[in-house]
Protein backbone atom coordinates (compact mmCIF):
# COMPACT_ATOMS: atom_id res chain seq x y z
CA UNK A 1 0.00 0.00 0.00
CA UNK A 2 1.15 3.55 -0.74
CA UNK A 3 2.42 5.42 2.31
CA UNK A 4 0.13 8.20 3.52
CA UNK A 5 3.15 10.48 3.98
CA UNK A 6 6.37 10.22 1.97
CA UNK A 7 8.87 12.93 2.86
CA UNK A 8 12.39 12.94 1.46
CA UNK A 9 15.02 15.42 2.62
CA UNK A 10 12.32 17.91 3.57
CA UNK A 11 13.94 21.17 4.67
CA UNK A 12 12.66 24.63 5.57
CA UNK A 13 14.72 27.66 6.51
CA UNK A 14 13.28 31.01 7.61
CA UNK A 15 16.11 33.24 6.46
CA UNK A 16 19.10 31.88 8.34
CA UNK A 17 16.99 30.18 11.00
CA UNK A 18 16.40 26.47 10.62
CA UNK A 19 12.80 25.38 10.91
CA UNK A 20 13.31 21.82 9.68
CA UNK A 21 16.20 20.02 8.04
CA UNK A 22 16.47 16.81 6.03
CA UNK A 23 13.29 15.17 7.25
CA UNK A 24 12.87 11.72 5.68
CA UNK A 25 9.79 9.94 6.93
CA UNK A 26 7.03 7.55 5.91
CA UNK A 27 3.69 7.16 7.67
CA UNK A 28 1.71 4.07 6.76
CA UNK A 29 -2.05 3.69 6.26
CA UNK A 30 -4.02 2.90 9.39
CA UNK A 31 -1.43 3.99 11.94
CA UNK A 32 -1.39 6.68 14.59
CA UNK A 33 1.92 8.49 14.40
CA UNK A 34 2.91 10.67 17.33
CA UNK A 35 5.21 13.59 16.56
CA UNK A 36 6.97 14.72 19.72
CA UNK A 37 9.05 17.71 20.62
CA UNK A 38 8.94 20.89 22.71
CA UNK A 39 7.71 24.18 21.34
CA UNK A 40 10.03 25.43 18.61
CA UNK A 41 11.41 21.99 17.73
CA UNK A 42 9.92 21.98 14.22
CA UNK A 43 6.61 20.14 14.65
CA UNK A 44 4.31 22.84 13.26
CA UNK A 45 6.70 23.59 10.41
CA UNK A 46 6.55 19.92 9.41
CA UNK A 47 2.75 19.85 9.39
CA UNK A 48 2.50 23.04 7.36
CA UNK A 49 4.92 21.64 4.81
CA UNK A 50 2.83 18.49 4.50
CA UNK A 51 -0.23 20.62 3.80
CA UNK A 52 1.57 22.97 1.38
CA UNK A 53 0.70 25.91 3.59
CA UNK A 54 4.38 26.78 3.31
CA UNK A 55 6.83 25.63 0.65
CA UNK A 56 10.07 23.78 1.42
CA UNK A 57 13.52 25.23 0.92
CA UNK A 58 14.40 21.86 -0.55
CA UNK A 59 13.22 18.27 -0.48
CA UNK A 60 9.92 16.73 -1.47
CA UNK A 61 6.76 15.39 0.12
CA UNK A 62 3.72 13.45 -1.03
CA UNK A 63 0.53 13.01 0.96
CA UNK A 64 -1.90 10.22 0.06
CA UNK A 65 0.28 9.56 -2.96
CA UNK A 66 -0.12 13.07 -4.40
CA UNK A 67 1.09 16.63 -4.01
CA UNK A 68 -0.94 18.10 -1.16
CA UNK A 69 -1.52 21.36 -3.05
CA UNK A 70 -4.05 19.43 -5.16
CA UNK A 71 -7.54 20.48 -3.90
CA UNK A 72 -8.79 16.91 -4.35
CA UNK A 73 -6.13 15.69 -1.92
CA UNK A 74 -6.87 18.42 0.60
CA UNK A 75 -10.48 17.29 0.67
CA UNK A 76 -9.29 13.91 1.96
CA UNK A 77 -7.42 15.50 4.88
CA UNK A 78 -8.69 16.78 8.22
CA UNK A 79 -6.50 19.43 9.83
CA UNK A 80 -6.44 21.05 13.24
CA UNK A 81 -3.89 23.90 13.39
CA UNK A 82 -2.00 24.69 16.55
CA UNK A 83 -3.48 28.19 16.69
CA UNK A 84 -7.17 28.61 15.85
CA UNK A 85 -8.34 32.04 14.69
CA UNK A 86 -12.08 31.81 15.40
CA UNK A 87 -13.14 35.40 15.96
CA UNK A 88 -16.25 35.73 13.79
CA UNK A 89 -19.67 36.92 14.92
CA UNK A 90 -21.46 33.87 13.56
CA UNK A 91 -22.34 31.03 15.87
CA UNK A 92 -20.11 28.00 15.94
CA UNK A 93 -22.94 25.84 14.55
CA UNK A 94 -23.33 28.10 11.49
CA UNK A 95 -19.57 28.09 10.91
CA UNK A 96 -19.44 24.29 10.96
CA UNK A 97 -22.41 23.98 8.64
CA UNK A 98 -20.72 26.36 6.21
CA UNK A 99 -17.60 24.18 6.22
CA UNK A 100 -19.79 21.11 5.76
CA UNK A 101 -21.31 22.57 2.59
CA UNK A 102 -18.00 23.49 0.98
CA UNK A 103 -16.67 20.00 1.78
CA UNK A 104 -19.43 18.45 -0.26
CA UNK A 105 -21.94 17.93 2.51
CA UNK A 106 -21.67 16.57 6.03
CA UNK A 107 -24.86 15.41 7.78
CA UNK A 108 -26.00 17.78 10.53
CA UNK A 109 -26.44 14.74 12.75
CA UNK A 110 -22.72 14.00 12.40
CA UNK A 111 -21.83 17.52 13.60
CA UNK A 112 -24.28 17.33 16.47
CA UNK A 113 -22.97 13.91 17.52
CA UNK A 114 -19.39 15.16 17.70
CA UNK A 115 -20.49 18.26 19.60
CA UNK A 116 -22.27 16.08 22.14
CA UNK A 117 -19.25 13.82 22.57
CA UNK A 118 -16.95 16.79 23.13
CA UNK A 119 -19.51 18.72 25.21
CA UNK A 120 -19.28 21.68 22.81
CA UNK A 121 -21.82 24.50 22.89
CA UNK A 122 -22.38 25.42 19.24
CA UNK A 123 -24.93 28.13 19.95
CA UNK A 124 -22.32 30.68 21.07
CA UNK A 125 -20.75 33.26 18.70
CA UNK A 126 -17.21 32.14 18.00
CA UNK A 127 -15.57 35.31 19.27
CA UNK A 128 -17.12 34.61 22.69
CA UNK A 129 -15.86 31.05 22.93
CA UNK A 130 -13.24 30.14 25.51
CA UNK A 131 -9.96 28.61 24.37
CA UNK A 132 -11.19 25.14 25.26
CA UNK A 133 -14.45 25.56 23.34
CA UNK A 134 -12.62 26.92 20.30
CA UNK A 135 -10.47 23.79 20.43
CA UNK A 136 -13.60 21.64 20.47
CA UNK A 137 -14.94 23.44 17.37
CA UNK A 138 -11.56 22.89 15.70
CA UNK A 139 -11.70 19.18 16.46
CA UNK A 140 -15.24 18.89 15.14
CA UNK A 141 -14.31 20.51 11.81
CA UNK A 142 -11.28 18.20 11.50
CA UNK A 143 -13.21 14.99 12.23
CA UNK A 144 -16.66 15.69 10.80
CA UNK A 145 -16.07 14.74 7.14
CA UNK A 146 -14.36 11.46 8.15
CA UNK A 147 -11.11 12.20 6.30
CA UNK A 148 -8.65 9.52 5.27
CA UNK A 149 -5.84 11.38 7.00
CA UNK A 150 -6.03 13.52 10.13
CA UNK A 151 -3.28 16.01 10.92
CA UNK A 152 -3.64 17.33 14.46
CA UNK A 153 -1.31 19.98 15.86
CA UNK A 154 -1.34 19.98 19.69
CA UNK A 155 -4.96 18.78 19.70
CA UNK A 156 -5.72 18.73 23.44
CA UNK A 157 -4.71 22.28 24.32
CA UNK A 158 -7.34 23.83 26.57
CA UNK A 159 -9.42 20.64 26.93
CA UNK A 160 -10.38 19.34 30.35
CA UNK A 161 -9.34 15.76 31.24
CA UNK A 162 -12.71 14.14 30.49
CA UNK A 163 -12.87 15.71 27.05
CA UNK A 164 -9.25 14.69 26.42
CA UNK A 165 -10.22 11.07 27.04
CA UNK A 166 -13.16 11.35 24.65
CA UNK A 167 -10.86 12.84 22.02
CA UNK A 168 -8.45 9.92 22.41
CA UNK A 169 -11.36 7.52 21.98
CA UNK A 170 -12.22 9.30 18.72
CA UNK A 171 -8.63 8.89 17.55
CA UNK A 172 -8.73 5.16 18.27
CA UNK A 173 -11.95 4.89 16.26
CA UNK A 174 -10.22 6.53 13.29
CA UNK A 175 -7.49 3.87 13.42
CA UNK A 176 -10.05 1.08 13.82
CA UNK A 177 -11.67 2.24 10.58
CA UNK A 178 -8.33 1.94 8.74
CA UNK A 179 -7.65 5.65 8.53
CA UNK A 180 -4.48 7.46 9.58
CA UNK A 181 -3.59 10.08 12.20
CA UNK A 182 -0.52 12.29 12.56
CA UNK A 183 -0.63 13.97 15.97
CA UNK A 184 1.98 16.42 17.15
CA UNK A 185 2.25 17.01 20.86
CA UNK A 186 4.42 17.76 23.82
CA UNK A 187 1.89 16.04 26.13
CA UNK A 188 3.56 12.68 26.23
CA UNK A 189 0.98 10.64 28.11
CA UNK A 190 -1.70 11.12 25.45
CA UNK A 191 0.64 10.03 22.67
CA UNK A 192 1.76 7.02 24.67
CA UNK A 193 -1.83 5.85 25.09
CA UNK A 194 -2.78 5.82 21.39
CA UNK A 195 0.27 5.96 19.10
CA UNK A 196 1.70 3.03 17.16
CA UNK A 197 4.96 4.84 16.42
CA UNK A 198 6.50 8.10 17.49
CA UNK A 199 8.96 10.47 15.88
CA UNK A 200 11.05 12.69 18.14
CA UNK A 201 12.16 16.02 16.69
CA UNK A 202 14.87 18.17 18.22
CA UNK A 203 16.06 21.57 16.97
CA UNK A 204 14.53 21.01 13.55
CA UNK A 205 15.91 17.50 13.08
CA UNK A 206 14.20 14.13 13.41
CA UNK A 207 16.37 12.30 15.95
CA UNK A 208 14.39 9.05 16.30
CA UNK A 209 11.46 7.10 14.91
CA UNK A 210 10.41 4.16 17.09
CA UNK A 211 7.38 2.13 17.96
CA UNK A 212 6.23 2.43 21.55
CA UNK A 213 7.36 -1.09 22.49
CA UNK A 214 10.87 -0.48 21.16
CA UNK A 215 11.15 2.78 23.07
CA UNK A 216 10.16 1.06 26.27
CA UNK A 217 12.72 -1.69 25.69
CA UNK A 218 15.46 0.94 25.53
CA UNK A 219 14.19 2.74 28.58
CA UNK A 220 15.72 3.12 32.01
CA UNK A 221 14.06 1.18 34.84
CA UNK A 222 14.57 1.49 38.58
CA UNK A 223 14.49 -1.92 40.29
CA UNK A 224 14.42 -3.04 43.90
CA UNK A 225 14.87 -6.67 44.94
CA UNK A 226 14.44 -8.11 48.43
CA UNK A 227 15.80 -11.56 49.26
CA UNK A 228 15.19 -13.93 52.16
CA UNK A 229 18.82 -13.54 53.27
CA UNK A 230 21.79 -11.24 52.57
CA UNK A 231 23.32 -11.67 49.12
CA UNK A 232 26.98 -11.22 48.06
CA UNK A 233 27.74 -8.08 46.06
CA UNK A 234 30.07 -9.96 43.70
CA UNK A 235 27.10 -11.99 42.39
CA UNK A 236 25.68 -8.82 40.84
CA UNK A 237 28.83 -6.88 39.97
CA UNK A 238 29.48 -5.91 36.31
CA UNK A 239 26.16 -7.15 34.96
CA UNK A 240 25.45 -5.73 31.49
CA UNK A 241 22.97 -2.86 31.57
CA UNK A 242 23.01 -2.62 35.37
CA UNK A 243 24.29 0.54 37.04
CA UNK A 244 23.96 2.44 40.31
CA UNK A 245 24.02 -0.92 42.08
CA UNK A 246 23.51 -0.81 45.84
CA UNK A 247 23.25 -3.85 48.13
CA UNK A 248 22.33 -3.51 51.78
CA UNK A 249 22.08 -6.93 53.35
CA UNK A 250 19.09 -8.65 51.74
CA UNK A 251 18.01 -5.56 49.75
CA UNK A 252 19.28 -4.65 46.29
CA UNK A 253 18.52 -1.54 44.25
CA UNK A 254 19.82 -0.55 40.82
CA UNK A 255 19.04 1.11 37.52
CA UNK A 256 18.69 -0.97 34.36
CA UNK A 257 19.27 0.30 30.84
CA UNK A 258 17.19 -1.76 28.42
CA UNK A 259 16.43 -5.41 29.08
CA UNK A 260 16.57 -6.75 32.67
CA UNK A 261 17.59 -10.25 31.58
CA UNK A 262 21.06 -10.27 33.17
CA UNK A 263 19.78 -9.06 36.53
CA UNK A 264 16.91 -11.56 36.56
CA UNK A 265 19.27 -14.48 35.85
CA UNK A 266 21.64 -13.37 38.60
CA UNK A 267 18.80 -12.95 41.10
CA UNK A 268 17.39 -16.39 40.23
CA UNK A 269 20.27 -18.00 42.15
CA UNK A 270 18.76 -16.65 45.37
CA UNK A 271 15.28 -16.58 46.90
CA UNK A 272 13.48 -13.36 45.97
CA UNK A 273 10.68 -12.39 48.35
CA UNK A 274 9.76 -9.01 46.91
CA UNK A 275 10.39 -7.14 43.65
CA UNK A 276 9.55 -3.56 42.66
CA UNK A 277 10.13 -2.31 39.11
CA UNK A 278 9.24 1.26 38.24
CA UNK A 279 7.87 1.08 34.70
CA UNK A 280 9.29 3.94 32.63
CA UNK A 281 6.87 6.35 31.04
CA UNK A 282 7.35 8.00 27.69
CA UNK A 283 8.39 11.26 29.32
CA UNK A 284 11.52 9.70 30.78
CA UNK A 285 12.32 8.08 27.43
CA UNK A 286 11.70 11.34 25.63
CA UNK A 287 14.01 13.28 27.93
CA UNK A 288 16.87 10.89 27.23
CA UNK A 289 16.80 12.09 23.59
CA UNK A 290 17.17 15.65 24.85
CA UNK A 291 20.01 14.97 27.27
CA UNK A 292 23.53 16.12 26.51
CA UNK A 293 24.57 12.53 25.84
CA UNK A 294 22.01 12.19 23.03
> Is residue 202 predicted with pLDDT exceeding 80?
yes
Going by pLDDT thresholds of 50, 70 and 90, the confidence category of residue 23 is very high
Counting Cβ atoms within 10 Å, is residue 262 exposed (0-12), middle (13-18) or buried (19+)? middle
Q: Which of 35-44, 167-176, 185-194 has the highest mean pLDDT?
A: 167-176
Counting Cβ atoms within 10 Å, is residue 54 exposed (0-12), middle (13-18) or buried (19+)? middle
Give Cβ neighbours of residue 176 (< 8 Å, ≥ 6 apart). Answer: none
> Is residue 282 predicted with pLDDT exceeding 60?
no
> Is residue 283 predicted with pLDDT exceeding 60?
no
With pLDDT > 90 as the criterion, what percentage of the chain qualifies?
A: 60
- pTM for the whole structure: 0.78
Which bin fits 14, alpha (ψ -120 to 50), beta or left (φ > 0)? beta
CATH of domain 218-289: 3.30.70
Q: What is the pLDDT of residue 292?
A: 43
Q: What is the pLDDT of residue 197?
A: 92
pLDDT tens for 24-61 read 999 999 999 999 887 788 999 999 999 999 999 999 99
What kind of architecture, by CATH, is found in domain 5-211?
Answer: 3-Layer(aba) Sandwich (3.40)
Instruction: Give the mean model confidence (pLDDT) for residues 124-128.
Output: 88
Counting Cβ atoms within 10 Å, is residue 110 exposed (0-12), middle (13-18) or buried (19+)? middle
What gap in Å lies between CA 231 and CA 249, rounded to an integer? 6
Contact between residue 184 and residue 5 where contact means Cβ atoms under 8 Å apart: no
Query: How do the domains of the chain map onto residue ranges?
Result: 5-211, 218-289
pLDDT tens for 224-274 read 999 999 999 999 999 998 999 999 999 999 988 878 899 999 999 999 999
Q: What is the pLDDT of residue 293?
A: 41
Q: What are phi and psi of 192, to 5 degrees?
A: -60, -35
Amino acid sequence: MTAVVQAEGLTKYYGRRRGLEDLTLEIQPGEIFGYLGPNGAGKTTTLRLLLDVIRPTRGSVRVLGERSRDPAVRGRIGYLPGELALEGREKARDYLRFLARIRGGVPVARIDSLAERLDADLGVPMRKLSKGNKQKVGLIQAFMHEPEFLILDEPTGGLDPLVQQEFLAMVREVRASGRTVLMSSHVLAEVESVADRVGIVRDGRLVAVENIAALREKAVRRVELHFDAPVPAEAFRDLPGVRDLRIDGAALSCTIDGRPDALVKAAARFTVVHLVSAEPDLEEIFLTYYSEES
